[in-house]
Amino acid sequence: MGSLPDTSVLTGQLENTLISYHSIGDCKWRVAKKSKDVTVWRKPSEEFNGFLYKTQGIVKGTPKRIVDYIRPGPFRLDWDSLMTSMDIVKTFDKRECCVMRYTTAGQLWNIIAPREFIDFSYTTDYQDGLLSCGISVEHGEQQQSFVRGFNHPCGWFCVPDDTSPGQSLLTGYIQTDLRGMLPKSAVDTAMASTLVNFFTDLRQALM
């Protein structure tokens, strides 16, 4: 069982890392998947031998309401079709911080088997909106029926859309090491499709 993080250090590191991703120029990204109202880009990750994904779309609602549906809490499990369980295993004195365990369903006809993640999560103010970010931590015993995946720094920026009152611009950065012997093409297909579906599920939940 790994030790839990020093929240005062980890929150600062996470926030700075996500803001650095948010400032990466458009020329560095390559489109991985595009639908009518969601785009997913990717670039090589500097954290592991995989990709950092960026996804963006307009969502109806205020940043607070949208982020309440994304971060660990009572709403997420009800609408996220990939997530099969979620438990908050540790809370901290520092507000808006927790450690959660969650599991995900198999993907691509179970080429990607169900995964388990243990993540530190942190939500903070960002400009006129919010940033909800996280990173995996070593904590607790692995469940036998799951492969333990690892999320490198990831997060969601949500700010009001100045051009459309009542709507917000949601931008996510995800870099998940699914671990296990998986073809890179299968991982890329699954990640890009998962992020598009994330927006579809979220928009439906917020209606």
Q: How far apart are the first and last CA of the chain?
A: 41
pLDDT classification of 26: cutoffs 50, 70, 90: very high
Whether 2 maps to a domain, the answer reads: no
Helices (H) and strands (E) in the chain, counts: 4, 12
Number of folded domains that form the chain: 1
Whether 1 maps to a domain, the answer reads: no
Q: Report the range of poorest mean pLDDT among 2-16, 50-64, 76-90, 129-143.
A: 2-16
- Token code pair at residue 56: 């963006």
Above 70 in pLDDT, residue 74? yes
Q: What number is the average pLDDT over the span 55-67?
A: 97
The per-residue pLDDT of the chain, averaged, comes to 90
Candidates 107, 95, 40; CA nearest to 71 is: 95
Helix (H) or strand (E) holding 69: helix 63-70
Structural domain span for residue 41: 7-206
What CATH number is attached to the domain comprising 145?
Answer: 3.30.530.20
- How far is the CA of 44 from the CAs of 47, 88, 206, in angstroms? 9, 31, 32
Above 60 in pLDDT, residue 206? yes
The tally of CA atoms less than 13 A away on the side-chain side of residue 61 is 19
* Nearest-angstrom CA–CA distance, 95 and 196: 30
Whether 12 maps to a domain, the answer reads: yes
Instruction: Give me the pLDDT at residue 108, please.
Output: 65
Instruction: Give me the pLDDT at residue 195, please.
Output: 95
* Greatest Cα-to-Cα distance within the chain, rounded to the nearest angstrom: 49
Are 133 and 154 in contact, with CB atoms under 8 Å apart?
yes
Q: What number is the average pLDDT over the span 65-76?
A: 93
Above 60 in pLDDT, residue 1? no
* Nearest-angstrom CA–CA distance, 182 and 107: 12
* Nearest-angstrom CA–CA distance, 99 and 137: 8
CA dihedral (141, 147, 152, 155) in degrees, to 10, reads -90
Instruction: Give me the pLDDT at residue 179, please.
Output: 83
Q: What is the pLDDT of residues 146-188, one digit of tens each?
A: 889 999 999 999 999 988 889 999 999 999 998 876 777 778 8
Are 63 and 160 in contact, with CB atoms under 8 Å apart?
yes
Q: What is the pLDDT of residues 77-122, one digit of tens each?
A: 899 988 899 999 988 877 789 999 999 888 766 667 888 999 999 9
Above 90 in pLDDT, residue 143? no
Instruction: Give me the pLDDT at residue 187, please.
Output: 80
pLDDT classification of 145: cutoffs 50, 70, 90: confident
Above 60 in pLDDT, residue 2? no
Whether 161 maps to a domain, the answer reads: yes
Above 80 in pLDDT, residue 62? yes
Which amino acid, residue 180?
G
Whether 95 maps to a domain, the answer reads: yes
- How far is the CA of 82 from the CAs of 66, 88, 95, 168, in angstroms? 18, 18, 27, 23
